[in-house]
Structure formats: structure tokens, C-alpha cells
Structure 1
Amino acid sequence: MTISSTRVYRASIPLATPFVTALRRVEDVTFVVLELHTDNGARAYGSAPATKAITGETLESIEQALHTKILPLLQGRPFELQTLLHTVATCLPGNSSAKAAVDMALYMLAAQHEGLPLYRYLGAKEATPVTTAVTVSLDTPETMRNKATELFECGYDILKVKVGGGDGLDAQRIREIANALPKAQLLVDANQAWNLQESLAFIDACADLPLALIEQPVPAQDLEALRQITARSPFPLLADEAVFDAEDARRVLDAGAADLINIKLMKCGGLAGALAILDVCRTYGTQCMLGSMLEGPVSITAALHLAVAYPDRFAWIDLDSPLLYRTLPSDLPFSVHGNCYRL
């Protein structure tokens, strides 16, 4: 089997409401789709959104990396998964989302070649349900409380609450939601918006609340601040933007700078990179979150297969993009039941 042709194009799905964090405001999910075709008639897909604030990539740079650097190295070569994955990972620096799109398509081809769904190719025996957190976008405390209440009443009991408003009201945002929804599990995500002093002030202000975790409170490069916050916090600290690959995970855990690691296929270059981070975290006895950017159905599907294959390694799942779409596409390869997915 060889890769005989490829196709790259864009797609977009409107969101029901704007998605707002400390880093950006987004009104639709736009992503690059990749098709790989083989000489024996097989076809597989990958996709990647542009998240410049995190990975440095634009839609144009993803397309350029695919067309000029990655895909020409794959066409016509014998299909040997690990060899092709190594080619993708090493053919150019950075461009982790472009690499992720190719990586997931290669894994899907390998699974098809074995006559298996991807989760079984990765080692799982059955497709167990996957429950995701659902995001509450950054807004005024009252608006966020109302939105969180609306989500909880719809059965979404794991809420990832965006903070980092720069207005001194972040503790109020969380306290209002926690008081209104004592049975909800609250994950707080600052998206690098605070400094050390602001992080510690938030922890002190919310120390009496049953928060599940705090995610990436300070800039990714400030491991010393992250270490001090982790040592001080009564809540587990989750490293997100500080960890792109397995070496980053090792560095963060060696420094005692986080209790958990957030794995996103777009940061680590796909399933191969995710598996490498899982291996590192296993040696440290550290669990992970499986997260995502605002993504299309193809890449969310790849992440769901990974979640099903490694349920014991992921303490949290944050793959809520489809729940934020204005309308679910009719041809999804998974079903949606509240905040629960089934492949």
C-alpha cells in the first residue's frame, strides 16, 4: 500500500455563541481538512484548526506546510506507519497542528489496513463512552453564572470556566458559579492570563471552594512561577501551554511545576506525540487531561479514539467543540448524548 494522492481544503462550522478566553474571541470553527488516498482504494482524513496564539500557526501556514514540506515526502512511499510518522515529525520544525492532521490520517489508514477501528488498533477492546467538560466562556460574573446554570440544567455537570478577564473579578466569577451550582465540578482555566501574585491571590480568595483544578495560570515559559503556585495551591495544577511534547512534560514534572498535564493533539503533533507524553507521565505516576482547541469533527474523532484506548490515563476529557457548534453535522462518526460521546 502506498499513498497515491492527497487533497487539502478548508471547512467551517458556526458556533452557537462566541467562544471567549483571555487569549481570543472566536465565532466559528474553521479548519484545514486533509484527505489521504492509497493505491488500494483506502481513504483517511485528518484536520487542524489555526490557533496562532498557542501554536503559532495560521490556516495559510498549515496549508503551506502540508503542500510544500510534508505531503511531497509521503506520496509513493511504501506504507510503514512508524517510518512515515518519523518523516512527518522531523521534516520541519514546529507546525505541530499541520503535523497532527497528517499523523491522525496515517493512524487511521493503518487501522483500516488491519481491519480495525482506531481505538482497537490502539489497544482498546470496546468503545466505551467518553464524558467531556463543557466550556463557560469569559464574560461578566453574572453572565457566566447564568450560562453555567443553563449548561448544568442541560446535564453538563463538568464545567471548564474561563477566567483571566484582567478586571479583578475572576474570584467573583468562580465564587458565583460555585455557590449557584454546588454539585457541578468546576475546572478553572486562566489561559496564562495571571502572574504569580495574581495566581496566589486567586487561590487565597477561593481556597474554601471545591475546585477540581486550575489550568495554566501563568505564561508557559514561567516554570518557576508555576512551581510556586503548584506548591501553594490546595487545588491540582494542570499544565497546558507549558507542554507541547514529551520533553516539555518531563521538564515540567521534574520541576514540580504541575500535578497534571493537558495533552492536545494540535500541540504535540498528533497521536504519536500524545502517546509519547503519556509514556512520560506514566513513569511519573501523573495523570492527564485530553484537551483540544476549537476543532472540527475529524480531529475530535481522533482524540475520542485515544480517550477510549487509554481511559485509565486521562483524569479529565475536554473535547467539547461539537457541543459548541450551532448545529451538529449529520454525518458525525460518533453520537452525542448530553456531554457524553460514543464512537
Structure 2
Amino acid sequence: MTITGARVYRESLPLATPFVTALRRVDDVSFVVLALQTDSGHTAYGSAPATKAITGETLESIEAALQHHILPFLLGRPFEFETLLHAVAASLPGNSSAKAAADMALYSLAAQKKSLPLYRYLGARKAAPVTTAVTVSLGAPDVMRTKAAELFRNGYDILKVKVGGGDGLDALRIREISEALPDAQLLVDANQAWSLEESLAFIDACADLPLALIEQPVPAADLDALRQITEHSPFPILADEAVFDAEDARCVLDKGAANLINIKLMKCGGLSGALGILDVCRSYGIQCMLGSMLEGPVSITAALHLAAAYPDRFAWIDLDSPLLYRTLPANLPFTVDGNRYVL
């Protein structure tokens, strides 16, 4: 089998409501799609959104990385899977989302070559259903409480609540939601918005609440602050932007700077990078979250196969992009039942 052709193009899906965090506001999901064709008649897809605030990439840079740096290593080459994966990873510095698009397309071809669904190619016998958290965007405390209650009434009982408003009201935001919805599981995500002092103050103010975790409270580079927060907190601390690859994960865990690691295909360059982080976390005896950016169906599908293949390794799943679309696209390769996906 040889890769004989490729297409790179953009797609966009409007969101039902704006997605707001401490880092950005988004009104639609825009992403680049990569289609690879082979002489055996197989076609495989990968995709990547632009999340400049996190990965530094734009739609234009993703397209350029694919067209000018990654595809020249793939087109016309025999399908030697490990060789091609290595070529993608080494094709240029950074550009993790562009690499992720190519990586997941290669995994899809490898699975198709063996006539297997991807989760079986990854070693699972069957696809376990995947239950995701659903995001409550950052806003005024009363607006967030109302939105959280609406989501909970609709069966979404795992809520990822965005904080980092810079107005001193984050503890109030969480307390109001927690007290209004005592049966909801609350994951608090600050997206690097707090200082060490603000993080400790929030933890002390909410210490009596049954929070599931706090995600990336301080800037990614400040591992010393993250370690102090982890040591102080009665809640598990999840490292997100601090971990892009397996070496980052090892560094965070060596320092005792987090209890959990958030793996996102767009940060780690795809499924191969995710598997590397999983191996590191396994060696430390910790579980992970499988997260995502605001993404299109192709990359969410790849992540769902990874989640289905390793259900014991992921304590939490945060793949809620399809639940945020204004309308679900037709012919999705998975079904949606509330906050549960089935491949």
C-alpha cells in the first residue's frame, strides 16, 4: 500500500452558544481536514482546529505545515507505519495539531489495512461506551448557575466549569453551582488564570465542597507553584497546558506537581504521542483525563477510539465538542445519547 494523494481543506461548525474560557471566546468550531488516499483504495482522515492560545497554531499555519512539511514525507511512500509516524513527528518543530491530523490519518490507514476498527487496532476487543464531561462556559455567577442547572436537567451530570474571570468571584461561581446541584460532579478548570496565591485562596474557600478536581490553575511553566498547590489541595490537581508530550508528563510527575495528566491529541501530536504519555503515567501509577480542544468530528472520533481502547487509564473524559455544536452533522461514525458516545 502506498499513499498516492492528499487533500487539505477547511470546515466549520457553528456552536449553539459561545464557548468562553479565561483564554478565549469562540462562536464556531473551525478546523483543517486532511484526507489521505492510497493505491489500495483506502481513504483516511485527520483534522485539527486552530487553538493559537495553547498550541500557537492558526488554520493557515496548520495548512502550511501539512502541505509544505508533512505531506512531502508521506506522498509516494510505501505504507511503513512506524517509519511514517516518525517522519511526521520529526517533520518540523512544534506544530503539534498539524502533526496530530497526519498521525490520526496514518492510524486510520493502519487499522483499515488490517480491516479493523481503530479501537481494535489499539488492542481492545470491544468499544466501551464513553461518557464525557460537558463544559459550563465562563460568565457571571448567576448565568453559570442557570446554565449548569439546565445541563444537569438534560442528563449531563459531569460538568466542567470554566473559571478565571479575574473578578474575585470564582469561588462564588463554584459554590453556587455545587450547592444548587449536589449530585453533579464538578471539574473546575482555570485555564492557567490564577496566581499561586489566588489558587490557594480558592482551594481554602471551597475546601468543604465535593469538587472532583481542579485543572491547570496556574501558568503552564510555573511547575513549582503547581507543586505547592498539589501539596495543599484536598482535591486532585490536573495538569493540562503544562503537558504536551511524554517528557513533560515525566517532568510534572517527577516534581509531584499534579495528580492527573490531561492528554489532548492536539497538544501531543496525535495518537502516538498520547500513547507515549499513557505509558509514562502508567509507570507512575496515575490515571489521565482524555481532553480535547473545540474540535470537529474526525479528531473527536479518533479520541473516542483511544478512550474506548483504554477505559481503565482514563479517570475522566472531556470530549464534549459534538454536544456543543448547534446541529449534529449527519452520518457521524458514533451515536450520541446524552453525554454518552457509542462507537
Q: Shorter-chain TM-score category?
A: over 0.9
Pairwise CA RMSD: 0.3
Cα distance between partner residues in 1 of 2:116 and 2:98: 25
Cα distance between partner residues in 1 of 2:183 and 2:288: 23
Give matches, 1:125-140, under 5 Å: 125-140=125-140
Cα distance between partner residues in 1 of 2:270 and 2:80: 17
Cα distance between partner residues in 1 of 2:175 and 2:332: 37
Cα distance between partner residues in 1 of 2:34 and 2:76: 17
Q: Displacement, 1:160?
A: 0.1
Cα distance between partner residues in 2 of 1:318 and 1:141: 22
* Length-normalised TM-score, structure 1: 1.00
The answer to whether 1:286 aligns with 2:286 is yes
Residue of structure 1 equivalent to 2:193: 193
Q: Which runs of 5+ in 2 are unaligned?
A: none
Q: Deviations over 1:164-210 (max 9, x none)?
A: 00000000000000000000000000000000000000000000000
Residue of structure 1 equivalent to 2:210: 210
Residue of structure 2 equivalent to 1:329: 329
Q: Displacement, 1:75?
A: 0.7
Residue of structure 2 equivalent to 1:86: 86
Cα distance between partner residues in 1 of 2:128 and 2:55: 31
Contact 2:128 2:309 in 1 (8 A): no
Cα distance between partner residues in 2 of 1:310 and 1:158: 20
Give matches, 1:1-343, under 5 Å: 1-343=1-343
Q: Displacement, 1:73?
A: 1.1
Q: Displacement, 1:271?
A: 0.1
Cα distance between partner residues in 1 of 2:75 and 2:40: 14
Q: Displacement, 1:128?
A: 1.5
Q: Secondary structure at the match of 1:40?
A: coil
Q: Match of 2:306, as an amino acid? A: L
Cα distance between partner residues in 2 of 1:292 and 1:126: 23
Q: Secondary structure at the match of 1:201?
A: helix
* Length-normalised TM-score, structure 2: 1.00
Cα distance between partner residues in 2 of 1:4 and 1:39: 6
Q: Displacement, 1:2?
A: 0.5
Identity fraction in percent:
81
Cα distance between partner residues in 2 of 1:104 and 1:255: 31
Q: Secondary structure at the match of 2:177?
A: helix
Cα distance between partner residues in 1 of 2:97 and 2:300: 13
Q: Secondary structure at the match of 1:187?
A: strand
Instruction: Name segments (4+ residues, structure 1) moved above 2 Å.
Output: none
Cα distance between partner residues in 2 of 1:57 and 1:271: 19
Q: Match of 1:219, as an amino acid? A: P
Cα distance between partner residues in 2 of 1:73 and 1:148: 47
Cα distance between partner residues in 2 of 1:88 and 1:9: 19
